[in-house]
Structure 1
Amino acid sequence: MRRLVLPLLLLVSYSALAADSFLSNFIDPDDGWFDGSQFLLDYPYGVLPVPVVITEPAVGEGLGLAAVYFHDADPAWDGERVGEDGRLHPLSTSAVVAAATNNDSKIVGGGHFGHYKRDTLRYEGMVGAADINLKFYGLGDGAENSGGFGFNAKALFVSQQLAFRLGRSNWFVGGELQYTDMETKFKTGIDIPGLDTFDFDSTNVALGVLAFYDSLSNPYTPHSGVLSDVSYKRYDESLGGDFDYNLLDLKNQVHFTPWQSLAVGLRLDASFLSGDAPFWALPFISMRGIPALRYQGENVVTAEVQGAWSLHPRWQLLGFAGAGQATQDRDNLGDAETHVSYGAGFRYLAVRQLGLNMGLDVAKGPEETVWYVSFGTKFM
């Protein structure tokens, strides 16, 4: 027995030292605060396990887990993470995620977001599968009084995007591919065998072109710069899909710092669809406080403003407000019902060397109050 005492003491001591050494990787030597920079960037296999807390009203509340890996910066930058212009050199990111909610929705997927050749080439690729329960509220101005119709959607989706920088400018141009295989099932509420559901199976395939301007100071938490994106996608039966329609998306955000401790962000997005699209593919108002698919239409416009006040180098308080319109008639877009949401939140700078912060937002929408676990302050 005594022969085991010393080895056990050594084992316990080593375990404590190892745990202390491991935890020390999460303490920033510059300010002594909790920080994930050293673990993620200075170790070759630093993978960030991120708890996924789902509070999206469209699918209920749920939990999941994501594994996020930040690849080291392009070797051409010689390990420098900040350029001469003060902008952060973007890292490539890979992630896998699995999650489930209390309305029996489930999703699993993964993606890679790559920056190559001194950020002259950008790639985004995602693939996943979902089994989700949602509601369809109708289109345009009639949606605000709708109680919604429940449906189940089983989907397989693939998204690919490649963009090239134009010279040494902040402009990129490229193309994209979108593929969705969808099985939807509506509950009719009629207790008759064979008539209790309506089933629809469909495939949606698109090829698109895009152009965007990106001068953001930081890809996660920008304090200055512009991100302006225009994309056109053609969904077509000749590509293997079941629908023929066009979708034009315009996404714009501007960030600036009027005072040293205040960062302001402005967002203006618009989507315009023409042709024969499935109901689940129609644009919708996407904003904190408003459930996904709650307000849909062939024409959607969303505007939002956000202010982030720095109380401390690590802590920020946020306030935000926005409004959106969705309608079937483009000529009457300005006269459509306006849906407003607003809220507040906070951020903690969790990965200082990447400028990545995370925290909570609470948003009051037209129907309910929702809280979100949020990463960064860039508009998604």
Structure 2
Amino acid sequence: MKKLIFTLSLFFTLHVGYSQSMFQKYFVDSTDNAIDVSNFLNAGFGFLPVPMVITEPAVGFGGGLAGVYFHGQKKKEVTTDSTKSFDNNKDLPPILTAAAAMYTSNGTWVTMLAHQGSYHNDRFRYTGAIGYMSINLKYYGGQGLEAGEYSFNMKGFLTFQEFLFRINKNVPFFMGLNYLYFNNNVTFDDQTAETEPLQAETNLGGMNVVTMWDNRNNTFTPTKGIMSVTEFGIFDQALGGDNDYMNFSHRTYFYQPIIKEKLFSGFRLNYEAKWGDYVPFYELPFVTLRGIPALRYQDHNALVGETEWRWQVFKRWSAVGFVGVGYTAPKIQDFNFNQSRVAGGLGFRYLVASDYGLHAGIDVAKGPEIWAWYLTIGSNWFR
């Protein structure tokens, strides 16, 4: 018995010591002894399990789990300051694959497999995703319905595929195509036992021509550079959809350091328009700002401007402030800039992967109607 106890004790001690050693190796930065997942991401084995916290007001509080695999090698660091800037080389953006599942308090659930990466010294970029989902949202009226809150569910299979090509290897300008297909079953439920829910299948199938300029110094948490993307295309029965309409969208993100290693600014401008014989209500552009639920303010045209500022407070920790304004209109000439939707808030960031310049943190925002909080990994302006 003594030998057994001694053997078990020795095994436990060695196991704890080994676990601590492995944790130190993969999750602690030897330069400052802070928590950092860079070494694990660079190790090149297995998927990194990433717990997800969902805080989008439109679907309620929830969570999930993603397995993320980082392909390739770490970036080439070109500065030694706390911004962790990286050369715009073949490793930008990184190649990653993710599988995810999530569930929220209002019954929304999503399962998805996605891949993103750049190839041949960043001459080609690819983003692809397939998923099956059931999403519960609210529609706030329009297209023949009076203003109000209408609960509905979207359920079906979705795939998105995008291929971009860099025309000149020395210029960060890309052109390409993307394709979206959604086999969508929509159900409206008025919560009345005497009536059956209204159900309909409305498939989406659309293709866009894409142009993109991207010289950001980092894809996760940029501190300098511009990303400007324009998409123009068509949704059509020939592409797998049920409705024919046109799509145009433009988004520009501009990042500029103000005080070296201390203060960083970001500016965002988004415009989206859809027009045609019939644009499905859930496809109408809407104001996308922290503090405003998805689909809350919709119309055929939506314009959003936002700025975000980050102050490097101490080592890996920084504070964030942001404010934005959004507008909607049935036609572009009908924008009324005296009727704005304003939202803003504060947050913090922690440099969680220094080799990748990846920051993560929490934002608290106030919109015209609600308070909301968001878990942010990387930039909030992800596309």
Give TM-score scaled by structure 1 length.
0.93
In structure 2, what residue type is equivalent to 1:135?
K
Cα distance, 1:125 vs. partner?
0.2
The CA distance in 2 between the partners of 1:197 and 1:312, in whole Å, is 54
The CA distance in 1 between the partners of 2:172 and 2:302, in whole Å, is 27
Q: State the secondary structure of the residue aligned to 1:217.
A: coil
* Unmatched segments (≥5 aa) in structure 1: 74-78
Cα distance, 1:124 vs. partner?
0.1
Alignment correspondent of 2:64: 64
Alignment correspondent of 1:289: 291
In structure 2, what residue type is equivalent to 1:81?
K
The CA distance in 1 between the partners of 2:39 and 2:98, in whole Å, is 19
Where do 1:211-226 residues align within 5 Å? 211-226=211-226
Alignment correspondent of 2:31: 30
In structure 1, what residue type is equivalent to 2:160?
S
Alignment correspondent of 1:81: 76
Alignment correspondent of 1:271: 272
| Residue of 303, 306, 310 corresponding to 1:304 | 306
Q: Structure 1 16/146 Cα, relative in aligned 2: closer, same or farther at 3 Å? A: same
Alignment correspondent of 2:342: 340
In structure 2, what residue type is equivalent to 1:308?
R
Larger deviation, residues 327-336 vs 232-241: 327-336
Query: Residue 75 of structure 2 contacts residue 87 of structure 2 at CA under 8 Å; is this kept in 1?
Result: no
Alignment correspondent of 2:106: 103
1:235 aligns with 2:230: no
1:325 aligns with 2:327: yes
Where do 1:93-242 residues align within 5 Å? 93-139=96-142, 146-167=147-168, 168-192=170-194, 195-242=195-242
Cα distance, 1:304 vs. partner?
0.1
Cα distance, 1:336 vs. partner?
6.7
Alignment correspondent of 1:76: none
Q: Structure 1 336/162 Cα, relative in aligned 2: closer, same or farther at 3 Å? A: farther
The CA distance in 2 between the partners of 1:129 and 1:151, in whole Å, is 17
In structure 1, what residue type is equivalent to 2:41?
L
The CA distance in 2 between the partners of 1:80 and 1:303, in whole Å, is 31
Query: Residue 135 of structure 2 contacts residue 154 of structure 2 at CA under 8 Å; is this kept in 1?
Result: yes
Cα distance, 1:83 vs. partner?
6.2
1:352 aligns with 2:354: yes
The CA distance in 2 between the partners of 1:212 and 1:362, in whole Å, is 31
Query: Residue 317 of structure 2 contacts residue 350 of structure 2 at CA under 8 Å; is this kept in 1?
Result: yes
Residues 247-299 of structure 1: CA deviation (Å, up to 9, x unaligned): 10100010001211100000000001111211111111111111011111110
Cα distance, 1:378 vs. partner?
5.4
Identity among equivalent positions (%) equals 34
In structure 2, what residue type is equivalent to 1:200?
A
Cα distance, 1:47 vs. partner?
2.8
Cα distance, 1:335 vs. partner?
4.2
* Unmatched segments (≥5 aa) in structure 2: 80-84
Give the total of aligned pairs.
370
The CA distance in 2 between the partners of 1:154 and 1:284, in whole Å, is 20
Larger deviation, residues 370-379 vs 28-37: 370-379
Alignment correspondent of 2:44: 44
Q: Structure 1 126/80 Cα, relative in aligned 2: closer, same or farther at 3 Å? A: closer
